[in-house]
Structures are given as structure tokens and as C-alpha cells.
Chain A
Amino acid sequence: MTDTSNPGAVVKSHPMLDAPIINRVPPLVVARNLTKYYGSIKAVDGVDVIAYPGEILGIVGESGSGKSTVLRLLNLEEPANGGVYHLQINSLANTNLFDLDRFDKRDVRVHHIGIVYQNPHLGLRMRYSASGNVAERLLITGERTFGTLRSKSNASLQASEFPIDRVDDPPSVLSGGMQQRVQLAKAIALQPELLLLDEPTTGLDVSIQATVLDTLKRIQRLRTITMILVSHDLGVIRTLADRVMVMRNGRVVEQGLTDQILEDPQDPYTQQLVHAKL
């Protein structure tokens, strides 16, 4: 029997896989040994995240597994207690992003990273218009011409498949699915290389959820943007993710191709997680 507990491997479930030989494009995201404590609790305990340009990497796990914390670290929202984080972008390739001061971190966030939160209140001003929410993102970069702001915002809303006749409505009067589309439009307005998605469709009706997932898929195809998707919903992960990492207690227990993780999980915990699905 194959020994699946090889202690020398970074991720124990794949002791036997080779390094990439076909793909010569380096990963966009290389984060190693991510560590985050809250008091005495190790929320993230030595996690590696590698994501290649244009792929969708899923992170699954139960509540408290540390998956959303990983996303916040990658968004440079809060300081890490340890680890290094590189984005393979010309001007940044040799920089550990965790070492930047808060102004430079903000700059990286604005230009290279977009994020969509589960809770739209975290990502939107509920009383500005949809278009205004997106324009705010463009203003940060110094764009001041009203016509340009408006046309760029609307283009981004259109890419998010937001109905163009509602761009003047504020998120407070929009449905949950529409609010997520505004968040998405805002996140991709500056054409970031990396899009982080934290439970983007959780709480939406199943049919609305499916259309938002389709929009994400289309955006990924048209813009070759790299996405990291956190979700507890295995159906969402199956629909969207190319590869998936399974987290538990702040650690990665297994990672692999999405269909392989869902159909032939190797780790005892993943086997239970997959089979617990209704």
C-alpha cells in the first residue's frame, strides 16, 4: 500500500507528485508558512498557498478552520505573525509583501488585488449608487474626469453582468445577488491580477448563486485573472475551482484537483467532509 503519511512532504496527501514540468509560467501567488495567532489561538498555522495565473484555487473547511483568515492575510488586511508572501508582478517579485509599510500595502491592494466579501456591507457603501461605489475605486488612482469615471464604472458593472438600467440605484435597495455583482464590479474595476472571494454566494438563493458563479467563470475566462475562492460549500467549489485546499484547525490537510479531492479524497478528515454532504 502506498504510504500516504510521508512526513517529508509539505502536504502529506500527495507524497508522490512531481514538480510541474509542462507549466513553465511561475505561480502568481507564492505564500509560505502563513501564520496568524489570535491570542493563544493559532488561526493559521503554517499554511502554504500557491496559485498559478488564470486558475481558480478553492479553499474549503468548516467554520473556524482558518480559511477566511488566510484570505485576509493574502489581502494584506491584517498583519501576519509569520510567513512570506510574494506576488509575481514585475515591480514586486522580490518583495515580501508582509514587510511593506501600510501605505505600500494599500497600494498593492488597490492595484493588484480585488476582494468580494460574503457580507456586502464590508465591501460597499450602501447609500452610494452602484456606479458610485465602483467609481470610488477608480478615484483612488487619481482618475477625476466625470465622463471617464462613469464609463469605466459602467463597463466594470457590465462585465459583472449587473443590469445597466440600475447603475444609479444604491446597494441598499438591491437584491443580495445584485449587491454581490456590485462588489465584483468594484473588485475588478482596476483589473487586478488577483481576485479573492470570501464565500461570495453564501446566503443567496440557489438559482441566483448559480448565475453569480457563471459570471465569475466568464470573468476568469475573459480576463485570465487568478482567483482564490473560500467556501464551505462543496457545490460552489466543484462548480468553480480548478484545484482545492482542505483546511482544518489552521492547517492544510490535503490539496489536489477539485474532482480528485471530492471523489477520491485521501485524508481521513477530507473523506468525512466529502461524505457529510447531503
Chain B
Amino acid sequence: MPLLAVNDYSKIFEIHHLGRQIPVFQHLTFDLMAGQFLLVSGPNGIGKSTLLRCLFRSYLPSSGQAIFDSSYGPIDLARASDIDILTLRNEEIGFVTQFLRPRPRVSALELVAEPLLGSGIDEAEAFQQARDLLSNFGLKRELWDAYPTTFSGGEQQKVNLSRALVAPRRLLLLDEPTASLDIATRESLANRLGELKDQGVAMIGVFHHPEDVQHLIDDQVELAPIAVHANGVPGD
């Protein structure tokens, strides 16, 4: 059984005050196996990130199924209750972006350890793993106890990636995580993703420069423009 089976999956935004429907993708079907890396490709603005956000349920997909083979058994991410999605986000499905949301007076180390602390891991162990990852991504040791609100963009990204990848996940959704990383950090990230893939983590990624992760890609799903009739209703 695939880890994720996406079937006839569509997203249409309905903007009420404009009285408009905006189709993004329609009738997508693809499978993803454990340990597989799937690249989402297509031109800018075609809805690649929207696909990832639908799978994470930050957006509600309009129709179709996304059957995820969770450790609790198969569950349709398109229809799962909100509380089940929260459990899956805490335990099995991760979302990696290029943006950190630092909070005032929360240290880099604490931000990174937080996803582990939330899952009930012992505090000492959580902070040790956070330190390992921060050092892996090359954040200077003297910044670990400092507040990322004051960090440079590059430093924030190292914290962001560490936080996003610290907890074990079975599926990772990667939304342009390499954008605007320096070369060394990009390499650390590709290495880390390679390790996780070897451990069986499945990934779906959107990359501005797919060559950063070329050696990891097993397959791709290509998003194509949708024909829209004059009245704004999507055609097939």
C-alpha cells in the first residue's frame, strides 16, 4: 500500500465578494511510497504550494481523496476531522517552508526543541537533539540561547529548518525550503533530507531550483494550466 494515494484531487477557491471561482488543480492522481521523493513541477503560479497546503489541510481541498497510510490505519486527509489532522501534524506529517515565525523572548534552542517537547519527549533529550540539528545546519553556538527575532535572514532559516526537521515524520511536505539558502546550508539540508529518505520518510517537494535535490528525486507530478471558460467555471 502506498504511504499516500491521491485520487481525483481538486482545489477550487471560491471568492465570495467577487462572486468568482478560481480553479487551481483538478483531477490529480498520484501515489507516493515510503522513502520516495516526489517533485511537484510546473510554471510559477500554477498551484504547486497550494497542493502541499491542501495535503496539510491549511487549505480545504474541494474534492477527491488523499488516503494516508497512518500508523493508526488508512485515513483520507481530504475528509479527516480537524482533531485527527492535528494528531497527524503532531506525529506524522511535517511541513517545511522557508519562513520562521520567531516569537519574542523564545530562544533558538527552545524554538527548535518545541515540536519534540510537544510530543512528550524528555526535556534533556529534546534539547540535545535540537543542539545536534542546529550545529548540523551551522548556526553559531553563541546564538543558540539568543532570540531569533534579532537574527539575520540566513540565521533564521537555519533555526527554521532545524525546527521543521527535528521531530520524526513519515511524510514531509517541502515548500521551497532551499530558496535563498547559502550554499553550505543548502548542502546540509540536502544531506539531512537524504538521511531521512533512507530512513523511509516520504517527501513531496516544490523547489525553485530542483537541482539542489536532484539526486533525491524519484518521480514527479506535473501541474498543467486549467482551461477556464469565459464565465469563470473551470472546464476539463
Residues of A that sit less than 8 Å from B by CB: 1-2, 4, 16-23, 52, 55, 207, 210-211, 213-214, 221, 239, 242-243, 255-257, 259-260, 263-264, 266-268, 271-272
12 inter-chain pairs at a CB distance below 8 angstroms, sorted by A residue, are A1-B233, A2-B63, A18-B76, A18-B80, A19-B81, A21-B80, A22-B87, A214-B104, A239-B103, A243-B86, A263-B53, A264-B59
Contact (A271, B70) CB under 8 Å given A21-B80, A210-B103, A221-B118: no
Interface string of B52-73 (1 = CB under 8 A from A): 0100011110110000001011
CA–CA, A55 and B62, complex, Å = 27
Q: Nearest 6 pairs between A and B by C-beta?
A: A268-B16, A264-B59, A210-B104, A20-B81, A22-B84, A259-B58
Q: Once the chains bind, are A52 and B83 in contact (CB under 8 Å)?
A: yes
CA–CA, A52 and B80, complex, Å = 16
Interface string of B82-97 (1 = CB under 8 A from A): 1111111000000000
Q: Once the chains bind, are B105 and A214 in contact (CB under 8 Å)?
A: yes
Report the minimal beta-carbon distance from B116 to chain A, rounded to whole angstroms.
11
Q: A20-B83, A22-B70 are in contact. List 5 more A-B contacts (CB 8 A).
A: A17-B79, A17-B81, A21-B81, A214-B103, A260-B57
CA–CA, A257 and B80, complex, Å = 11
Q: Once the chains bind, are B117 and A221 in contact (CB under 8 Å)?
A: yes
* Residue B30 at the chain A interface, CB threshold 8 Å: no
Report the minimal beta-carbon distance from A120 to chain B, rounded to whole angstroms.
22
CA–CA, A257 and B76, complex, Å = 16
Interface size for B (C-beta < 8 A) is 37
Question: Which residues of A are found within 8 Å of B81, using beta-carbon distances?
Answer: 17-21, 23
CA–CA, A17 and B103, complex, Å = 33
Name which residue of chain A comes closest to B56, CB basis. Answer: A259
* Residue B136 at the chain A interface, CB threshold 8 Å: no
Question: Which residues of A are found within 8 Å of B86, using beta-carbon distances?
Answer: 55, 242-243, 257
* Residue B151 at the chain A interface, CB threshold 8 Å: no
Q: Which of B58, B73, B80, B84 meets A264, CB within 8 Å?
A: B58
Residues of B that sit less than 8 Å from A by CB: 12-17, 21, 53, 57-60, 62-63, 70, 72-73, 75-76, 78-88, 103-106, 117-118, 233
Q: Once the chains bind, are A243 and B60 in contact (CB under 8 Å)?
A: no
Question: Which residues of B are found within 8 Å of A4, using beta-carbon distances?
Answer: 14
Question: Which residues of A are found within 8 Å of B17, using beta-carbon distances?
Answer: 268, 271-272
Question: Which residues of B are found within 8 Å of A266, using beta-carbon distances?
Answer: 14, 60
Question: Which residues of B are found within 8 Å of A243, using beta-carbon distances?
Answer: 82-83, 86
Question: Which residues of B are found within 8 Å of A260, using beta-carbon distances?
Answer: 57-60, 82
CA–CA, A271 and B14, complex, Å = 10
Report the minimal beta-carbon distance from B66 to chain A, rounded to whole angstroms.
13
Question: Which residues of A are found within 8 Å of B15, using beta-carbon distances?
Answer: 271
Q: Once the chains bind, are A256 and B16 in contact (CB under 8 Å)?
A: no
Q: Once the chains bind, are A55 and B83 in contact (CB under 8 Å)?
A: yes
Report the minimal beta-carbon distance from B6 to chain A, rounded to whole angstroms.
16
Q: Once the chains bind, are A2 and B105 in contact (CB under 8 Å)?
A: no
Q: Once the chains bind, are B12 and A1 in contact (CB under 8 Å)?
A: yes
CA–CA, A272 and B15, complex, Å = 10
Question: Which residues of B are found within 8 Å of A239, using beta-carbon distances?
Answer: 103
Question: Which residues of A are found within 8 Å of B57, using beta-carbon distances?
Answer: 257, 260
CA–CA, A195 and B168, complex, Å = 31
Q: Which of B13, B75, B117, B233 meets A22, CB within 8 Å?
A: B75
Q: Once the chains bind, are A256 and B60 in contact (CB under 8 Å)?
A: yes
Report the minimal beta-carbon distance from A63 to chain B, rounded to whole angstroms.
22
Question: Which residues of B are found within 8 Å of A18, using beta-carbon distances?
Answer: 76, 79-81
